[in-house]
Amino acid sequence: MYKFIVLIGTGIILIAFFFAITYIKKRKPDYFKYIFLYLLSGLLISANTIMANTSAWILKNTKSILIEQVLILLQSLLLGKFCLGVLKESVYAKKIKWLIYLMILTQIIFIIIVHTENIEIRPSISSNLILLIFCSYYFRNLMTNEPTLILVKSSAFWIFMGIFFSSCIGFPVGTLTQFIPKYGEYGHVRSQIFSIFNVSLIFLYLFIIKSYICLKHPQNL
């Protein structure tokens, strides 16, 4: 099941990357460059996972795990920069800048702990929590300002929805898996639970595809 979801997810990322290439010359906000790089790093994560061909977080193949963690760290930074790009004119811009620094710092600390103390911590739990805060800023900004967008045609709206959905699932899943044994009958449970998070990421990439389609309506960026 886990490997099947990885392959499906890789296919979705490839489709999203195809859309990004198709719309590369179309006029769009500067923050879309972060989404393009996010898709590229997503492909690298999928390639690393497929080549490693290991079960979820059995800490033996430390090299592939480190590569994955560094790429996820990069993705967190890119999504943070995207959120800042969308909300740079809002009252939340300064808070977002400081939270991006905090997000990156905590992920780096978690990565160091994992590889020096051999303690299983998912560094992405900090980014998922902070990305949820960014989403709350975006939704609050929408509700407190005069409505000027048709949300279903807004590119930024769909990406924020994808971030919100994946982070809502990723934070509890990333926290929960630390308390489930890696071996025996619980190993299968861990794999199934983590597969739920992978499915939520697939939805994020689907929402990114939708955001590129919305570029046909430049008044609703």
Please spell the DSSP secondary structure of 65-92, one letter per residue: HHHHHHHHHHHHHHHHHHHHHHTTTSTT
Task: For residues 47-73, give the mean pLDDT.
Answer: 73
Are 111 and 61 within 8 A, CB to CB? no
Give the pLDDT of residue 44: 93
Averaged pLDDT, 60-83? 88
Sign of CA dihedral 103, 42, 62, 198: positive
- Of 18-32, 47-61, 96-110, 111-125, the poorest mean pLDDT is in 47-61
Question: How confident is the model at residue 56, as a pLDDT?
Answer: 45
Residue 210 to residue 221: CA distance in whole angstroms: 12
Greater confidence (70 vs 25) lies with 70
At residue 5, the pLDDT reads: 79
**pLDDT(78) > 90:** yes
Q: What pLDDT, on a 0 to 100 scale, did the predictor assign at position 25? A: 83
Is-above-0.75 flag for pTM?
A: yes
Furthest C-alpha separation in the chain? 55
Per-residue model confidence as pLDDT tens digits over 113-125: 887 877 777 878 8
**pLDDT, average across residues 2-8:** 76
pLDDT range class, residue 86, cuts 50, 70, 90: very high
> What pLDDT score was predicted for residue 60?
52
CB atoms near residue 10 (< 10 Å): 19
Say whether pLDDT at 58 is over 50. Answer: no
Residues in the chain, total: 221
What average pLDDT is seen over the chain? 84
Flag whether pLDDT at 10 surpasses 90: no
Beta carbons of 173 and 197 less than 8 angstroms apart: yes
Give the pLDDT band (50/70/90) at residue 209.
very high
Dist CA 159 CA 156 (whole Å): 5
Q: Looking at residues 157-177, what average pLDDT do you find?
A: 89
- The confidence band for 71, taking pLDDT boundaries of 50, 70 and 90, is very high
Is there a contact between 210 and 154 (Cβ–Cβ < 8 Å)? no
Amino acid at the residue 39: L
DSSP alpha helix (H) spans, 87-154: 93-117, 124-144
pLDDT reported for residue 113 = 85
What pLDDT shows up at residue 174? 79
